[in-house]
């Protein structure tokens, strides 16, 4: 039996987790149609007979998969649908060479001169896993290929991941609803067009209609209609840039976004009037906080003006905002969010807890003693990394020699230093790079992985990265100073050269991040 490689195994667990939490797979498992009644596995039932018109409005990174699933379920009952989705096409094709080989500095993936590499036994195992994952993710209908240097590179300590590790890619998804492709993470003119069209559909639905909202993370930038008149796409982009590069956690950013928009903070739902509303969620926030997903377009909102003004003051945001926004804030002309008691049926399809639980279950099935580390969902990435490492190394000391795996989730805060866009990477890759440096001091066999379930980390084409306690030393031997890459928010460039990128492409999902630490994978039977 081949010896299992720790980094390879960590990526296997992540890929299997993506398959387990696939949106359409969960739709089939958790929602069904019995005659004219939608039945949810939490016991809720929605009778469709009273409605002469059924509309679908999808907003977010998972909107296409959610839209296709609900279209399949409703069939001819659907009157009209609008799905607002991100433009997440990657500049890649099946097969690639490493950037080090091509000299490409852009972060794209070259396809020149690619060949099918020979596979080791470990590589073949990942190839089978990728093939199975592509079958599960039904939007991926083309053969997958690995190219260039091969999946794994032999080094003295075992194997090191090649510069380009995993790539999933497929053709565009086919749906019947109108699809509006907008920008993420920065709103643009298309976001304003989407806002206008969705407002028109929702406000004109009327009595006797059912509007099914399909809401997932990323919707805050994809759908917009500004509170302030005459705001341009450039103003929106600048507002978003100030918010996402601030020290404010995501829930506080959402409070600000809600108050400055006509389609957030429940204001879109209020436009539905007498139409009935059903909202199905794929959550990219903590717990069951539905009001934070996509900045809450539908539900009555509990955020207050007092919170709003406190956040923009505490984080020194007002003078950094575009002048049109700063003016109405200084003049206290921001209106409160709607707090009415209009009924909305809600159903949470998937969230980060489900992904963490799935990853832990998969790790356990491989033979690891597995522990979920709670309480690490949000915070400064260095603090979360140090906390997770301390807890995991403590577990190693309690259970010496055992194959161990710890799982955590959420989204860490990773401030951008200097000019945004000067470095390539994201919170997951930076978390892994910092953790690898910490593990280099006495825990060289411990593996760390952090990846986004949406397949995109920051401004890079990677989902995240994987490393171990040897990574920093190996990188130093080829002239890489990890501190320089951390200082420049350039973790993608580090892993591009040192190895360890995890590249899946957009997954059509978004339930935050998965972080793994494991050890002694080579001792699994």
Instruction: Tell me, yes or no, whether 188 and 210 share the same domain.
Output: yes
- pLDDT value, residue 251: 79
CA nearest to 369, candidates 398, 338, 343, 340: 398
Instruction: Tell me, yes or no, whether 362 and 325 share the same domain.
Output: no
Q: Which residue range(s) make up the domain with 186?
A: 43-88+172-350
The pLDDT of residue 431 is above 50: yes
Cα atoms in the 13 Å half-sphere on the side-chain side of 281: 28
Cα atoms in the 13 Å half-sphere on the side-chain side of 481: 4
Mean pLDDT is highest, among 95-99, 127-131, 288-292, 329-333, for: 329-333
How does residue 5 score in pLDDT terms, banded at 50, 70 and 90?
confident
Torsion, CA 505, CA 507, CA 510, CA 512, rounded to 10: -50
Q: Is residue 162 part of a domain?
A: no
- Which tokens belong to 28? 């089939």
Instruction: Tell me, yes or no, whether 337 and 473 share the same domain.
Output: no
Instruction: Tell me, yes or no, whether 373 and 468 share the same domain.
Output: yes
Instruction: Tell me, yes or no, whether 329 and 369 share the same domain.
Output: no
How does residue 288 score in pLDDT terms, banded at 50, 70 and 90?
confident
Instruction: Tell me, yes or no, whether 233 and 335 share the same domain.
Output: yes
Q: Is residue 371 part of a domain?
A: yes
382-412: b or e for each residue (b if 16 or more CB lie within 10 Å)? bebbeebbebbbebbeeeeeebbbbbbbbbb
Instruction: Tell me, yes or no, whether 383 and 249 share the same domain.
Output: no
Q: Is residue 115 part of a domain?
A: no
CA 10 – CA 360 distance, rounded (Å):
11
Place of tokens 């593996």: 447
**Domains held by the chain: number:** 2
CATH number for the domain harbouring residue 368: 3.40.1480.10
The answer to whether 147 and 96 have CB atoms below 8 angstroms apart is yes
Q: Is residue 30 part of a domain?
A: no
**Distance set, CA 52 to CA 44, 76, 104, 205, 362 (Å):** 21, 12, 56, 11, 44
- Contacts with 516 (C-beta within 8 Å, 6 or more apart), sequence order: 10, 13, 14, 359, 363, 405, 406, 407, 447, 448, 449, 450
Pairing of the two strands 464-468 and 345-350: unpaired
Q: Is residue 206 part of a domain?
A: yes
CA nearest to 421, candidates 209, 32, 106: 106
pLDDT tens by residue, 182-236: 988 888 999 999 999 999 999 999 999 999 999 999 998 899 999 998 899 999 9
End-of-domain residue from the set 350, 370, 388? 350
Instruction: Tell me, yes or no, whether 405 and 317 share the same domain.
Output: no
Instruction: Tell me, yes or no, whether 343 and 375 share the same domain.
Output: no
pTM assigned to the model: 0.83
CATH number for the domain harbouring residue 274: 3.40.50.10180
Burial of 307 (0-12, 13-18, 19+ CB in 10 A): middle
């Amino acid at each position: 039996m081949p010896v299992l490689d720790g980094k390879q195994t960590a990526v296997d667990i992540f890929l299997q987790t993506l398959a387990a939490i696939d949106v359409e797979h969960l739709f089939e498992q958790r929602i069904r149609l019995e005659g004219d009644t939608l039945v949810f596995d939490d016991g809720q039932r929605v009778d469709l007979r009273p409605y002469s018109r059924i509309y679908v409005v999808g907003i977010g990174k998972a909107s296409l998969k959610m839209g296709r699933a609900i279209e399949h379920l409703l069939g001819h009952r659907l009157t009209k649908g609008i799905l607002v989705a991100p433009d997440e096409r990657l500049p890649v094709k099946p097969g690639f060479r490493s950037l080090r080989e091509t000299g490409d500095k852009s972060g794209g993936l070259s396809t020149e001169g690619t060949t099918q590499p020979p596979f080791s036994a470990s590589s073949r195992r990942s190839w089978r896993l990728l093939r199975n994952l592509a079958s599960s993710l039904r939007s991926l209908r083309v053969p997958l290929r690995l190219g260039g240097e091969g999946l794994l590179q032999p080094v003295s300590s075992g194997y090191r991941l090649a510069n380009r590790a995993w790539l999933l890619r497929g053709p565009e998804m086919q749906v019947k609803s109108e699809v509006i492709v907008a920008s993420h993470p920065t709103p643009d003119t298309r976001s304003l067009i989407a806002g206008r069209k969705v407002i028109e559909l929702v406000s004109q639905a009327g009595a006797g209609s059912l509007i099914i909202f399909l809401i997932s993370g990323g919707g805050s930038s994809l759908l917009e209609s500004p509170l302030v008149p005459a705001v341009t796409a450039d103003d929106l982009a600048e507002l978003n840039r100030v918010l996402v590069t601030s020290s404010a956690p995501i829930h506080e950013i959402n409070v600000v976004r809600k108050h400055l928009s006509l389609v957030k903070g429940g204001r879109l739902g209020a436009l539905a009037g007498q139409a009935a509303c059903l909202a199905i969620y794929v959550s990219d926030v903590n717990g069951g906080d539905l009001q934070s997903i996509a900045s809450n377009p539908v539900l009555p909102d509990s955020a207050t003006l007092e919170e709003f003004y406190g956040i923009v003051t505490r984080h020194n945001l007002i003078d950094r905002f575009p002048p049109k926004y700063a003016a109405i804030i200084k003049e206290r002309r921001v209106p409160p969010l709607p707090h009415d008691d209009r009924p909305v049926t809600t159903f949470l399809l998937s969230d980060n807890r489900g992904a963490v639980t799935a990853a832990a279950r998969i790790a356990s099935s491989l033979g690891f003693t597995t522990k979920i580390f709670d309480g690490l969902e949000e915070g400064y990435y260095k603090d979360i990394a140090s906390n997770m490492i301390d807890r995991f190394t403590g577990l190693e000391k309690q259970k010496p020699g055992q194959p161990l795996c710890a799982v955590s989730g959420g989204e860490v805060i990773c401030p951008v230093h200097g000019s945004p866009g000067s470095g390539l990477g994201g919170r997951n890759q930076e978390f892994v790079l910092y953790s690898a440096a910490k593990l280099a001091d006495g825990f060289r066999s411990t593996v760390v992985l952090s990846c986004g379930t949406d397949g995109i980390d920051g401004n890079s084409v990677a989902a995240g990265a994987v490393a171990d306690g040897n990574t920093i030393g190996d990188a130093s031997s080829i002239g890489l100073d990890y501190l320089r890459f951390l200082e420049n928010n350039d973790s993608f460039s580090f892993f591009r050269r040192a190895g360890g990128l995890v590249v899946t492409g957009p997954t059509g999902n978004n339930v935050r991040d998965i972080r793994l630490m494991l050890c002694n994978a080579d001792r699994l039977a």
